[in-house]
Structure 1
Amino acid sequence: MKILYLLFAVFFLTLFLCAGFTQDINTRRACRRARGICRRTCPSNFGRIGRCGFRQSCCKRTWVSSGCHRGDITV
């Protein structure tokens, strides 16, 4: 029975901590906090993660891996 109480405590703690991650980015401040930039349209290497206001998008750089890394090469 004690394990059940512990599981409920962990479950509610997880819900409490994850609640902040579900908020939308809808202001300039929230965009900057998410390390994004406010632009009318996102450049090609940026992805849209939210809105900064009227007709502006919050954009964040998307990292594309080339697939060839130093540790991948074996002889």
Structure 2
Amino acid sequence: MDIFSGLSLGGSLLYFIPPMLLLPVVMVVCVAIYKTLFGKILPTKVYNLLLGPIALLGFLIWAIPMDMGFYEFFRAIL
């Protein structure tokens, strides 16, 4: 009995890698935009408090296109 017959890491993982590489890029870009816009204006405590929600906003910016078919876009390219 082979319990790992459904796992194939060769072909299906190729479609998964570009979106996973895109996730930290989008999050870092969101944090960089936040830093340039509000880095000098906000007090340090408020600025540090909002870093987490801004990174989560970057995750949502990444997740919504993935749900709408961006994953299939990478599958079509590769």
Query: TM-score of the superposition, structure 2-length normalised?
Result: 0.31
Q: Which has the higher contact order (CA 8 A, sep 6+)?
A: 2
Report which of the two structures shows the higher radius of gyration computed on alpha carbons: 1
More strand by share: 1
Query: TM-score of the superposition, structure 1-length normalised?
Result: 0.32
More helix by share: 2
